[in-house]
Amino acid sequence: MTDVRIGHGFDVHAFGDGDHIMLGGVRIEFGRGVLAHSDGDVVIHALCDALLGALALGDIGRHFPPSDPQWKNADSRAFLRHCNGLLRARGWKLGNADITVVCEQPRIGPHVDTMRAALASALDVATDVISVKATTTERLGFTGRGEGIAAHAVCLVVRE
């Protein structure tokens, strides 16, 4: 087997009532919240699925079932630390990750570096291996109509 593997993850949450959203482990003040069992952090959920995907370990729903009350309002950074632990236990670590947030609002740019630092801290890697970007969908589709927020993540994992 090779010494590198790639993974991909994608996540969506609908907006609902609330006054903030969690993204990349960072609280962002906003006129809406997200509908979710956990804290609804699409960046972390997509990244967890990318990490799990790289090692063919299933998906976040299998490891943290929404039906399990212990994950109600969970801080998604715990999911990320758990997924990272699964990697490390098997002799792998994150090489780099590239994440794209898709929404019209809130504005993501001002929070990108804070998110990168928070994700790097949770994964115990250098900040410069974590990329967070953002785009809109030009007002098209569910993100364009402001109905929700999405995130894509790809990662490379390497042998420790």
Looking at the Cβ atoms of 87 and 150, the one nearer to Mg ion is 150
CA distance 153 to 44: 9
Q: Residues 154, 97: contact at Cβ < 8 Å?
A: yes
- Residue position matching structure tokens 């801080």: 75
Looking at the Cβ atoms of 48 and 129, the one nearer to Mg ion is 48
Q: Residue numbers of the site for Mg ion (CB under 5 A)?
A: 11, 45
Can you point out the beta strands (E) in the chain? 4-16, 20-23, 26-29, 33-34, 92-102, 130-135, 148-159
Q: How far is the CB of 159 from Mg ion (least distance, A)?
A: 29
Looking at the Cβ atoms of 48 and 120, the one nearer to Mg ion is 48
Q: How far is the CB of 1 from Mg ion (least distance, A)?
A: 30
Q: How far is the CB of 49 from Mg ion (least distance, A)?
A: 9
